[in-house]
Amino acid sequence: MKYLAPCLAVILLATPAMAQSIGEKTGVNSTLGITPATDDFVKQVAISDMFEIQSSQLAQERGNAAEKTFAAAMIKDHEKTSNELKSMVSGGDLKVALPTQLDSTHQSKIDKLKSLKGGDFSSRYQIQQVSGHKDAVSLFERYAKGGDHPKLKEWTEKMLPTLRHHLQMAQELAAGNTVGKR
């Protein structure tokens, strides 16, 4: 018992430092409210965009009318952010290697969507959209608040209203409401 308090203190003090090295992907940074490292932020944004585009392409094939409308907006907006991010990297503003494919977590979500049809597809797609956009808003808010790359931080702040709107749209879709327009 007498060692428990000092051990807990060491763990709590070390957690923020370790969270950066663990990376954004684990969810630790989000839970603790830690600003993601620039490399982690860029990689997660790129993966998120790829996931949004691929899952929404499936929704355009398999979804209902509301999902198809939502999916079209997601594809358009996430292709735009992907292109802007690629432009910052290719222009030399960011020294980060962009991923060219989904990580295993997002790939398994796509694989699951591919196996579903009808109401099962709709339910899973809607849940993933709400969850994904909550994660994206958190990621962007944390980088906007404490990111260390000025141009990327400015871009992040510019993108936040769109992401918040996407989250609202995803929540409306999941609630069975007509998806709102900007």
Q: Where are the domains of the chain?
A: 1-34, 35-174
Mean pLDDT of 154-169: 97
Question: What predicted TM-score, i.e. pTM, was given to this entire model?
Answer: 0.81
Per-residue pLDDT band for 110 (boundaries 50, 70, 90) equals: very high
90-97, Cβ contacts within 8 angstroms, sequence gap of 24 or more: 93/151, 93/152, 94/38, 94/42, 94/149, 94/152, 96/38, 96/39, 96/42, 96/43
Contact 103, 48 (CB under 8 A): no
When pLDDT is averaged across residues 158-162 and rounded to a whole number, the result is: 97
**Which fold is adopted by the domain 35-174?**
Ferritin (1.20.1260)
Q: Is the pLDDT of residue 129 over 80?
A: yes
Of 20 and 71, more confident:
71
> Could you tell me how far CA 127 lies from the centroid of its own chain?
14
